[in-house]
Structure 1
């Protein structure tokens, strides 16, 4: 049986197919108006390439940016919210944080682009009291029905419910949800106790509001894709990758789309980690450069990092959903270069995308982009882009850079193109440092892994800027994110707040926490049972989220198997001290430590993509791989007649000395003078200084 991974980007939709005949890669242009069109078309095309029937496809793992794009473009649903009386403005107030402490000129996203307009936030009488969750004031059901009548009048199709202290007692939220469904049967409904059943009212309200904001369109896309796959005669199970790197069902993601806000970038990190392991490398700086953005992550010791809750922001809004620790910036092949009103030279974050795309695409784009700069510098050959499937017009690139950058600045077109490359590289380098050096990691101990269609053009320059040890280029850089989709396991997460002072906790208090763990484990078991996962293949990881008493946010440490006891709670406390020292550089070993949340991660192993070892290279591999040579400008401004090599003809162990450009269908690797590239056993390229 065959499996397909399909990742939708801003410019291209990438596919990888694994079957008995081998592993196949393919790219098709993304269809921005309806991503599912490119997904289904690409599936049919890659099946034809591999020579298999579409009926042979067993599973399709999908990475999507549909929910992310909704938050970026602020075009989600009109949301109605039911909340506790006296607390309708929590979404506006937030945490009273200023994005830039010493500037008067800044945007506050939760106020300038509210997820729920104030007039649609309706206060409801009813009160749950902490710390026990007892009901002080009964829920006023008439007010809920009146609010529903108002929502109907305003044609609101998505409603969220967020009541104070519902994480202690969700009775009121559940009843409110029942009434909403009675009054508005077709509404998209989100309850905070189901979306984020944890403490912190602002973050919980923001998360459920985000779920309601992106939910209708995300669910429509996922259901539409599922139907198109069926209509296309493809019987495969359809799965979606989540922000935490696990995969889930269409139904689960449609109900809780906050879990797929970082779906697309997650696949790239998983693919990079898989290839790094094959190359014997455990410390990597991943840089996924596509047509629109660059996604950057740091992997230390071969283990993924999950973001601290304080950092889980999407378009400026707090979202309490587990996410792989990565940063996204507007730096890709389609990033547009421009001069601002003050004459400053900028690149991105605005992108030409796939329609119209860079100027050289000849689709009507007339602004200069990073891709146009690569064409002008002779690094991207106009007749070989995507294997010649998409011929480029170098004259259009030259014209765009000349008119918009070179002539206004009074410099040559070549210098302007070099400037575009240097600016976008420095933008990415700053983010790499913030994700590594600022987190206590030394880039000199890491390999930089550039991928995405544009990644290997920038690999050496970025490694030099951040002082990385070397560069590791995956076997199929432009398809790495799609490959990562076939290296993920089924995963469901359930969390609940159980605030417990571990220093003073007796066995009764610990048993209360253990009881919550048992309940959450049962929830995860139901998820896996619904996926028809046999009991012996089900796994459950229990995480304790802890903090020092009075601290703002918590850190994760593993919970002992068998639960908390008086004998092992000291081990958990010590593990927290160690985690705090790793993240912050210090710990308070005599301070009070609180258990804040417990999280149960239910998983089932899936078969991961297996790459075969390359045949050993011959002494004449470089000669056989030679295609032609052309004049190329490198980052130092020097021009060299540079050979083009076919990467598919380079065997394991083959060494290529720069200057050279290594071409394949989905990407191009730049090997500057003074560097060499050695083909690794499983096909990746390791670039080092000579």
Structure 2
């Protein structure tokens, strides 16, 4: 196996290179002006570690898998093209009116507490560039008013004269019958062919989403078109750079749906938040290989803190109408919550409340935290970790990035210490406490709202800063056990490399498996099977177009179900290929009843209100060879994995005596902040850690790309050669 997987974050670009039996991790600062520079810098570091030339590696790998932030950057900078919207006459104001709470979407909890004072997002399409055409298709897909070519041609001409650089087509009920949207696209291409329009996108809403919901479908198509140019230019330039260096295969792009696809089969909207989803994908594999059904995944990088949930049983949580920036959209996105609590999150003095605020804005990689000594002057979480003694200024990023402790101390003293009347060190301690508490609250909210008790879960912590803060937010949550993968700093890149070729297609339906008024079961199997077959065929074609044999394609069918008209939807895996009997319908009802009771408490089910299916989702995928997280030479770490029990190998109850770590692990000591004061703290070498070694806190364990902070009352040990376990002992 030879493959490259890359995850680009706000601060670092992470690279994971699999080269036969070798597993190499590398990092480089993200180059926001040209992402390919950071990509190639990280890859060059990995290739050098193998003793290979970068061009030889690119020529020899089977695939390059890429999780990008291009779309996120385009939204932040509002750098998309001028777009025109063609919609049904009379519905030109849909996106400006939005939904009832539309202008609250994407705001922080604090901002939502004052919605009357909140600002609506600036529209991505100017109202002057929205035109209506005479046509109408009803809710069942029947043509009521035929579309007129001349009317469409006039509308397109008006937009072109206004200088638009892309077209979005959203017509009423096109998910039931796309005939009129296809006609609009045909007219545009006839009047202004590719030689005239060049790379200007024409995006029809039914190509992006087959779900009902006029506003969210409109925003899905608009965002996809808005991001198209930035994605095309950025990824095509990267693809050219790779080809110039010897890579000849199609580039694979990670999707936020939990899979990946070739560049030419990727919608721009599918790349938003793809990096964190890649990490969650790896966590699902960890759950399966270690037989742990309840995992909270936390990815603390330089910019954000991403929270996910793995509950086993093959169930994956999706956002049904996720928010991207300030807009709700209709793509099947794996459920992740992002907080502004990364290493680069900026700490500020709040004069109104005489307190400290941390995040959500980040210093990023340029200029970065004050300690990076690249021009940043504002204190960040990384600066706090340095001031408190947790980070070695000479060993950050494996010693490749020297940190300036004096600048970090000045930032805290001047920006926070003086207005609060405390020392810079005390201000840094407050920042760390605040950010750990913010992360704990974010985790609790995410887990509790899905009906689970976080105290029953194990935390899987990764990202460059995950092991540094894991004990802190785990204590606040009451979680007793934390697992950290050996290459935690690039874990999402590992997940990107392990993704399957996968496409998701879904459709809105309104089916009652159990009709409460008539007390009858669903019997129209032909209609249900027709929907499933249609979505299966779409998925099959998508994957076959990418060179896979039709017989290699596998499918998973999911229903989004609810009781009556409640808002809560639950995703259920369907164990049947086709529905042919009432027994199968009853089986689905029983599965849903049991799942709902497990999550929200037995007795909360309300079958007397009816049981409905609102969405049908078909996941088409081809399982690809994966790097395992334990076992033998296939392990994702650079060393060979050995068998582990998955249990508490070294005790872990409150009465266990403190263990003495072997002297060979010791690197020295330094002053670090624990229990409200600095204390001389032992520092250990992560690379020397063996399977029988135990380290009790307080302690620091230094790895090339992260530092483990072991709080008092916690114990660190090696679960196997790939996972580190931190367990609470007091």
**Residue of structure 2 aligned with 1:178, choices 176, 181, 186:** 186
- Measured against aligned partners, the alpha-carbon deviations of 1:126-162 in whole angstroms (never above 9, x if no partner) come to 000122x111111122232222223222332221111
1:29 equivalent in structure 2 = 29
Query: Residue 625 of structure 1: CA displacement?
Result: 2.3
- Measured against aligned partners, the alpha-carbon deviations of 1:481-525 in whole angstroms (never above 9, x if no partner) come to 111112211101112233333346998832022122212212211
Cα distance in 1 for residues equivalent to 2:413 and 2:315:
44
Secondary structure of the residue aligned to 1:590 is helix
- The unaligned stretches of length 5 or more in structure 1 are none
Cα distance in 1 for residues equivalent to 2:307 and 2:415:
29
Could you tell me whether the CA contact under 8 Å between 2:507 and 2:616 is conserved in 1?
Answer: yes
**Residue of structure 2 aligned with 1:130, choices 134, 139, 145:** 139
Query: Residue 102 of structure 1: CA displacement?
Result: 6.2
Cα distance in 2 for residues equivalent to 1:220 and 1:335:
29
Secondary structure of the residue aligned to 2:251 is strand
**Residue of structure 1 aligned with 2:305, choices 294, 299, 318:** 294
Q: Is 2:417 aligned against 1:413?
A: no
Q: How does 1:196-235 map to 2 (within 5 A)?
A: 196-235=209-248
Answer with 533-542 or 578-587: which moved more.
578-587
Compared CA separation, residues 28 and 101, structure 1 to 2 (3 A): closer
Cα distance in 2 for residues equivalent to 1:228 and 1:386:
26
Query: Residue 45 of structure 1: CA displacement?
Result: 2.9
1:595 equivalent in structure 2 = 613
Cα distance in 1 for residues equivalent to 2:185 and 2:431:
52
Cα distance in 1 for residues equivalent to 2:722 and 2:188:
56
**Residue of structure 2 aligned with 1:331, choices 336, 341, 353:** 341
Q: Is 2:66 aligned against 1:62?
A: yes
**Residue of structure 1 aligned with 2:531, choices 516, 529, 553:** 516
Secondary structure of the residue aligned to 1:87 is coil
Q: Is 2:442 aligned against 1:441?
A: no
Query: Residue 279 of structure 1: CA displacement?
Result: 4.5
Compared CA separation, residues 537 and 106, structure 1 to 2 (3 A): farther
2:172 equivalent in structure 1 = 164
Compared CA separation, residues 276 and 664, structure 1 to 2 (3 A): farther
Cα distance in 1 for residues equivalent to 2:349 and 2:302:
21
1:80 equivalent in structure 2 = 84
Could you tell me whether the CA contact under 8 Å between 1:506 and 1:566 is conserved in 2?
Answer: no
- Measured against aligned partners, the alpha-carbon deviations of 1:629-688 in whole angstroms (never above 9, x if no partner) come to 111112x21322122222111122321122221111111110122221011113221112
Secondary structure of the residue aligned to 1:199 is coil
Cα distance in 2 for residues equivalent to 1:549 and 1:208:
30
Could you tell me whether the CA contact under 8 Å between 2:683 and 2:700 is conserved in 1?
Answer: yes
2:155 equivalent in structure 1 = 147
Secondary structure of the residue aligned to 1:436 is helix
1:424 equivalent in structure 2 = 435
Could you tell me whether the CA contact under 8 Å between 1:71 and 1:314 is conserved in 2?
Answer: no
Cα distance in 2 for residues equivalent to 1:559 and 1:303:
11
Compared CA separation, residues 163 and 376, structure 1 to 2 (3 A): same
Could you tell me whether the CA contact under 8 Å between 1:453 and 1:477 is conserved in 2?
Answer: yes
- Measured against aligned partners, the alpha-carbon deviations of 1:230-275 in whole angstroms (never above 9, x if no partner) come to 112123442111112111111111xx12222120111122233434
Compared CA separation, residues 493 and 56, structure 1 to 2 (3 A): same
Secondary structure of the residue aligned to 1:363 is coil
Compared CA separation, residues 270 and 622, structure 1 to 2 (3 A): farther
TM-score by length of 2: 0.89
Could you tell me whether the CA contact under 8 Å between 1:625 and 1:650 is conserved in 2?
Answer: yes
Q: How does 1:252-401 map to 2 (within 5 A)?
A: 252-253=265-266, 256-301=267-312, 303=314, 305-310=316-321, 312-342=322-352, 343-401=354-412
Query: Residue 456 of structure 1: CA displacement?
Result: 1.0
Cα distance in 1 for residues equivalent to 2:212 and 2:483:
42
Aligned positions, number: 682
Could you tell me whether the CA contact under 8 Å between 1:614 and 1:651 is conserved in 2?
Answer: no
Compared CA separation, residues 506 and 514, structure 1 to 2 (3 A): farther
Query: Residue 174 of structure 1: CA displacement?
Result: 0.7
Q: Is 2:700 aligned against 1:661?
A: yes
Cα distance in 2 for residues equivalent to 1:153 and 1:40:
42
Q: How does 1:441-520 map to 2 (within 5 A)?
A: 441-503=452-514, 509-520=524-535
Could you tell me whether the CA contact under 8 Å between 2:556 and 2:619 is conserved in 1?
Answer: yes
Compared CA separation, residues 81 and 553, structure 1 to 2 (3 A): farther
Compared CA separation, residues 682 and 510, structure 1 to 2 (3 A): same
